Amino acid sequence: MSDVSPARALGIDFGTSNSTVGWHRPGVESLIALEDGKITLPSVVFFNIEERRPVYGRLALHEYLEGYEGRLMRSLKSLLGSKLIKHDTSVLGSALPFKDLLGMFIGELKKRAEHCAGREFDQVVLGRPVFFVDEDPAADQEAEDESGISREELVLIVDIGGGTSDFTLIRLSPERHQVAERQSDILATGGVHIGGTDFDKQLSLQGVMPLFGYGSRMKSGALMPTSYHLNLATWHTINALYAQKSQLALNSMRYDIEDTLGIDRLFKLIEERAGHWLAMEVEASKIELTEQPSRRLDLGRVERELSVELTRALFEEAIDGLLERVRASVTELLGKAGVHASQVDTVFFTGGSSGIPALRNSVSAMLPNARHVEGNIFGSIGSGLAIEARKRYGAA
């Protein structure tokens, strides 16, 4: 294998929110620019009815928000952990199997990488979560980069993506860096089906949905059914709210609600087809709350002068239950490895949702002696998969 030749294969990190492609070339950044010079391609497909074509990434979001008629689909990777993967969906008037939809998106990643590289690729190493579904263990070898290791260390890799949180406890050392078979260095793997979309959902439910009737009382004293707000707060179920059956049920329910202000706003939001817009605003608020104590969300699109102040304190309270499950998964991982928390030398954070302060603090507090290292939150896994692809398939 030549040390100066580019790799024969690609590494693809198909993410719930964003995807990356790595191509290992000595002395060159491995992550390939996939859209507008950016290394990430949002995992989004928009089927444009007017032009009868699929659109991907940021352009897909742009066309949808510009008002083009069509079907927007996001968080595609979440399908892999659901029963929907065995079913079809209606796209441009035809039935499309969900697994074919995933194939279309991954094919687009390959196409863009080949265009950038100026060559075709026949081999690829794909990343995957440790657990696609909770309580169904299936460990894969994680990609790792030991360029910053000067001695043997026990490292906990914390990868918080859009749909899953994955953990790997691994023993690293400079001497082991070039060894081809590294399975014995992985002491334990674990994970939980919690990621950025779940954090968005809880922020939406606790901070925004009450304005749209979430928690409203019926005249009987019971609470309004929550399924409508859960659908609205979950990317891949927003379209269910626009269905005629759903709207008829809401309209019938309206007469049994004590205060109709919230449900009337919900009808307005449905009329404006603003569910995905609202979801993106909530996601933007989550991101801003990693740096700022608060963010005012303007909801004037639904009702004039309507807004809500979202705070980091509210967000952290909303996701506390999710963080407890993350901590439990880390505790289980350490127990499986027979390692005490004080023995961990380094915790390596990566993944788009790893920047949430409450999450970092929550995990870090469990590992009193560990130094904290931050990887490229969107690119570490893609870069590691590119290295693994070169190891497995060699150089051109």
Percent of the chain with pLDDT over 90: 49
Most confident segment among 62-71, 134-143, 167-176, 240-249? 240-249
Mean pLDDT of the chain: 85
Is residue 129 over pLDDT 60? no
Average pLDDT over residues 323-346: 95
Q: Of 254-263, 316-325, 377-386, where does mean pLDDT reach its minimum? A: 377-386
pLDDT at 385: 80
Q: Of 67-81, 198-212, 294-308, 345-359, where does mean pLDDT reach its minimum? A: 67-81
Tens digits of residue pLDDT in 270-300: 999 899 899 999 999 999 999 999 999 999 9
pLDDT at 133: 43
Res. 1 pLDDT band, cuts 50 70 90: very low
Q: What topology does CATH give the domain 10-126? A: Nucleotidyltransferase; domain 5 (3.30.420)
Whole-prediction pTM value? 0.76
Tens digits of residue pLDDT in 230-263: 999 988 788 889 889 999 999 999 999 999 999 9
Percent of the chain with pLDDT over 70: 87
Say which residue, 77 or 205, is predicted with more confidence: 205
List, by residue range, all CATH 3.30.420.40 domains of the chain. Answer: 10-126, 153-195+320-376
Which one is the CATH code of 153-195+320-376: 3.30.70.270, 3.40.30.10, 3.30.420.40, 3.40.50.1360? 3.30.420.40
Res. 137 pLDDT band, cuts 50 70 90: very low
Average pLDDT over residues 155-170: 89
Res. 182 pLDDT band, cuts 50 70 90: low
Q: Which amino acid is at 389?
A: A
Average pLDDT over residues 154-162: 89
Is residue 145 over pLDDT 50? no
